[in-house]
Amino acid sequence: MVVVPLLGACGIAALGRHLPRKLTDAVSIGVAVAVTAMALVLFYEAQRHPVVRWMGDWRPVHGFALGICLAVDPFGAGACALAGFLVTAALVFSTWHFDSAGRLFHVLMLLFLCGAAGFCLTGDLFNLFVFFELLSVSAYGLTGYKISERGPIQGALTFAVVNTVGSYFVLLGIALLYGQVGALNLAQLGSALAGKPPDALIRSALLFFVAGFGVKGALVPFHFWLADAYAVAPVPVLVPFSGIMVELGLFGIARVYWTVFSGVSGLGSGLSGLLLGIGVATALWGAVMTLLQPNLKRLLAFATVADSGLTLIGISLFTREGLAGSGLYVIGHGLVNGALFMGTGVLLDGMGTVNVDALHGKGKRLPWLGAVMTLAALALADLPPFGPFTGQALIDGSAHHLGLGFTRWIAIATAGLTGGAVLNAVARIFLAWGPSSPEPEEDREDLGKEEPERSEQPVHPGMIVTSAVLLGAGMLVGLVPFASDAAERAASIFESRLGYEGWVMRGIFRLPAPPHPPHISGTELLIGFGSVALALAIGIIALVRTRLPKRLRGIFHQLGIGPIRLLRRLQSGHLGDDVAWLVVGIALYSVLLAVVLG
Amino acid sequence: MSFIPYAASAWLLLVGLWGLVTSRHLVHQILCLNVVQSSTYVLLISIGWRANGAAPIFLKLPKGQVPVDPVVQALVLTDIVVGVAVTALLLALALQAYKRFGTFDPERLRQLRG
């Protein structure tokens, strides 16, 4: 699964000049489909017995791992399958959308897939880092693909520099752990650290991992690069970016915590609190920023940040249901976001801009697309009983059992705000509701003008169909009856450090206790409908904003303009600012970690 | 155990980050990133050091000599390769910026904000 996309990428790079474009498209799509299929097969196999492969047959000796292994558990295989599916969808979409997708686009996408696959499946810490870098560097290349414009250069540079600094913090963490333990195998590290108190070195290593992976995972305050990168990357690329790349950052945190750090005594509850706080801050910041964006791609970028925050909340609960919920949430939201990005791509194609103000009313000739995007916005707002809702319900149930009921309000607010922002945009574009020109007191720069990725042609229906397929998949994930069961079983295998060590080092695997059937109570349904209602309310308020009585508008303006200006100014697009926030974030989290660990 | 290599690593990290934060030139930013990367190399190699250690060439090792840890050296080599890939990509972007827009100043390229 790692070798196949690598071979595909190299093949295309070598021969692509001589092959017609249709053939390179077919080869890359074929490779991506093959990876997805293999990952699904592995998922089913891994549920019965996780798969371990030692490279070069260097098996562990006396509990000491001499070689590098691939340790496939169902969670990793599932993440790999999602990556494959999203890359396939992006490649299919790009056959219609992208005029000039030369062979380098396919090469980079396949390398991205290779990196994602390796990242999900490896059992060695340094191997994890290397695949993380492969994934990242391909992403930098893909972001800066439209090199002829000013924006992509800025966006790709910021993305690359900030994320590389983050990755090298991960490497610092690896160095610290290696210095302490002398091993790089995840299972072995876990058993070496088990039972130890969290001393300064362990804390620093953990902090570096959280920060480094958190940069990729767009956690506050490491998230400033995301909006700039998303605004300039070509649309097909954004589908896997938003669906799997950001989530792999969180996956990295979860994987490293559960396999390496979960045995350290006294670490869990403190870290849980810290991650919960970071998740809440990220979710709310992202949600609020979605309302301030006139550019559709940036809007969806901040929606991704908000989703990332909610996913981290689920992970931070450190329970089986929480992790299972996060997994389902990631799948649901990844697919729905992908569908929305594809819709944006269609609009860019047809009208040459993604600025909501400029697109006002122009969507009327694409009613099907309007329907898809409206449904997607509602799914984003956690409409029951579809995909994102199922994940959120599991997370909420678990949080409630832990007495952390306040997270449901965060979830309602976030889902409502992001769903509302998208509904507002959709209504203005497709139904011509709402103000047709930007208001004079808001300085909304025209950030939406970008060159369409193909010459003016009528919109190919295939693009809308692909978008609808993604949306359907995202929504149906919640309806598939055994999805919650499978997710819970996968989560229980993921979370058991002793179990992991058992099946990686010694090949012993005991099936975990079967999960109790998921029980989605009436409260969770209410929450789901609540966030949809909030989304509709926000959408309507945003639309009729200009018709409100002047005094009311004046009050809102006075209350809101200060924080809004502050948030806008923080998102400066300056590389120096983003790096400064990274450093501040690490310092802040080290202080907070010291506080919660006592 | 001398702390100087670790202090050097920390210094490189801080200096590199400071350079990134205050930089006004794309190529300078890329080189500051390289300095940050170098801090991790120094840290890794220092971790592998053994007092009176010999080079880890196992065919010719004198009896009783302890070799320094070769694993970290392999890690550093891998990281250097990763660093090279990133630097090459970034320099290509910087070069394109200069060719198309005539500037290496990130301020003049800044189009995205808010």
Query: Is the per-residue pLDDT at B16 higher than 90?
Result: yes
Helix (H) or strand (E) holding A303: helix A296-316
A83 or A386, which is more confident? A83
A/B interface, count of CB pairs below 8 Å: 125
Whether residues B89 and A574 touch (CB distance < 8 A) is answered with no
Segment A540-559, tens digit of pLDDT: 777 776 666 777 777 777 77
| CA-angle at A136, arms to B47 and A308, nearest 5° | 105
A313 or A437, which is more confident? A313
**Which of A92-96, A114-118, A455-459 tops mean pLDDT?**
A114-118
As a whole number of angstroms, the distance between CA A312 and CA A250 comes to 7
CB of A575 within 8 Å of any CB in chain B? yes
What percent of the residues of chain B are helix, what percent strand, and what percent coil, each to the nearest 5? 70, 0, 25
Query: Is the per-residue pLDDT at A151 higher than 60?
Result: yes
Segment B84-107, tens digit of pLDDT: 999 999 999 889 888 888 878 877
Query: Is the per-residue pLDDT at A253 higher than 90?
Result: yes
A479 or A75, which is more confident? A75
Which of the four pLDDT bands, split at 50, 70 and 90, describes residue A220?
confident
Q: Which of residues 51-80 of B touch A (CB under 8 A)?
A: 71-72, 75, 78-79
Give backbone dihedrals phi and psi of A185, rounded to 5 degrees, phi first.
Answer: -75, 135
Mutation choice for B interface testing from A111, A137, A154 by most B CBs within 10 A: A154
Share of chain B above pLDDT 70, in %: 95
For A390: left if phi > 0, alpha if psi spans -120 to 50, otherwise beta; the answer is alpha
- A475: closest CA of chain B, how far (Å): 32
Q: Who among B40, B82, B114 is closest to A568 (CB)?
A: B114
Nearest CA in chain B to A302: B114
pLDDT of res. A458: 65
Arithmetic mean of pLDDT, A458-476 = 78
Instruction: Concatenate the DSSP letters of all residues of A540-586 into one string.
Output: HHHHSGGGS-HHHHHHHHHHHHHHHHHHHHH----HHHHHHHHHHHH
Per-residue burial over A335-373, b if 16 or more Cβ lie within 10 Å, else e, is bbbbbbbbbbbbbbbbbbbbbbbbbbebbeebeebbebb
As a whole number of angstroms, the distance between CA A300 and CA A373 comes to 12
| CA-angle at A412, arms to A484 and A551, nearest 5° | 165
Q: Who among B37, B72, B109 is closest to A153 (CB)?
A: B109
Among the residue ranges A187-191, A249-253, A592-596, B1-5, the one predicted with the least confidence is: B1-5
Chain B residues touching residue A131 (CB < 8 angstroms) = none
Arithmetic mean of pLDDT, A504-529 = 71
pLDDT of res. A503: 77
> Mean pLDDT over all residues of chain A?
81
Chain A residues touching residue B21 (CB < 8 angstroms) = 576-577, 579-580, 583
Residues A323, A255 contacting (CB under 8 angstroms): no
Segment A361-407, tens digit of pLDDT: 777 777 778 888 888 888 888 777 776 777 887 788 788 777 777 88
Arithmetic mean of pLDDT, A271-281 = 90
Segment A298-342, tens digit of pLDDT: 899 999 999 999 999 999 888 888 888 898 889 888 888 988 998
pLDDT of res. A444: 44
Share of chain A above pLDDT 70, in %: 88
Which of the four pLDDT bands, split at 50, 70 and 90, describes residue A442?
very low
Which of the four pLDDT bands, split at 50, 70 and 90, describes residue A99?
low
As a whole number of angstroms, the distance between CA A420 and CA A302 comes to 13
Query: Is the per-residue pLDDT at A440 higher than 50?
Result: no
As a whole number of angstroms, the distance between CA A559 and CA A537 comes to 19
